[in-house]
Structure formats: C-alpha cells, structure tokens
Amino acid sequence: MANELRNNVFNDFMDPMSNFFDGLGRNMANSSKMKTDVIENDDEFEVKAELPGFKKEDININYENDTLTIHAIHDLNKEQKDEDGKLIRSERTSSDVSRSFYLPDADTDKIGAKYDGGILDVMVPKSAEKESKHTISIN
C-alpha cells in the first residue's frame, strides 16, 4: 500500500498534467450526452432518457426509417442585479442533445411518450405483422 501511494505521488510529480486533459475531455463529452436506457420486451421497446431541466415543449421525438430520434434544446439565461438595478452577474447556458436508436418493426400509430421529473419515457410497440422469412430463388 505504501509503495503504491509513493508510486502514484512520484508519477503525479513527474507529470502533473498527465491526467488533466483526460479528465477535461471526459467531463466535456459526458456533459452533452443524454443518459439513456433502451429495454426490449416481447411486444415493445421502452426508451428512458434523462433530460433534467428541459421543458416538455423543447423536446422533439421522431420515428422514421426504423429509427427513433430524440432531440432536445435547453437555453437558460440568469441575471442577478443589485438594489440599484445594476447587473452583478449574468449566466447563460445552452444544451443541445440528440440521440438516435434503431428500433425496427414499430407500430408507428401506437408510439407514445411521457415526460415527468426530468425523465422522458418513450414506448415503442412492435408491429404485430412481422414479415415471415422468405426464400429467394436464384435465376
């Protein structure tokens, strides 16, 4: 244990910036992603996406060419002023996230979604009429 600690301290001393950019890139990449679970059952797909802070009207869901696409945009502007109305602080954040999932053979008329507590839940029922296997002869 002492050797491991000593080696880690020595390595950090020799190259203090070695992990800095790795962590920075990882945090930037993860901050713009939509955490999502896709569950396949016998008769449907269920897609649960975490979209905290987004308004329902800023979320778009489309199903086209056997692909479900979720796209959400979130813009937030905050201003804090003092008693005289002078600006003390102004913050702006913007998020634009999109994810697509290949979910074949969906019954498009029955796709439904609900959004509650920052969680988007999309139910994609499978079509009852699946094409049976067909053997193709070679001429």
What secondary structure letter does DSSP report for 110? Answer: G
Q: Is the pTM of this model over 0.85?
A: no
CA distances to 14, 20, 21, 73, 82 from 11, in Å: 5, 13, 16, 42, 48
Distance separating alpha carbons of residues 138 and 131, to the nearest angstrom: 20
Split the chain (139 residues) into runs of 10 and give each run's mean pLDDT.
45 50 43 83 95 90 93 80 76 83 91 94 86 57
What pLDDT score does 76 carry?
Answer: 72
**Is the four-CA dihedral 14, 18, 23, 24 of positive or negative sign?**
positive
Tokens of 122: 């999309």
Q: Which domains does the chain have, with CATH numbers?
A: 33-125 (2.60.40.790)
pLDDT value of residue 101: 94
What integer pLDDT is reported at residue 136 of this predicted model? 60
pLDDT value at residue 135 = 59
Give pLDDT, residue 27: 39
Kindly tell me the burial class for residue 113, based on how many C-beta atoms sit within 10 Å of its own C-beta (0-12, 13-18, 19 or more).
middle
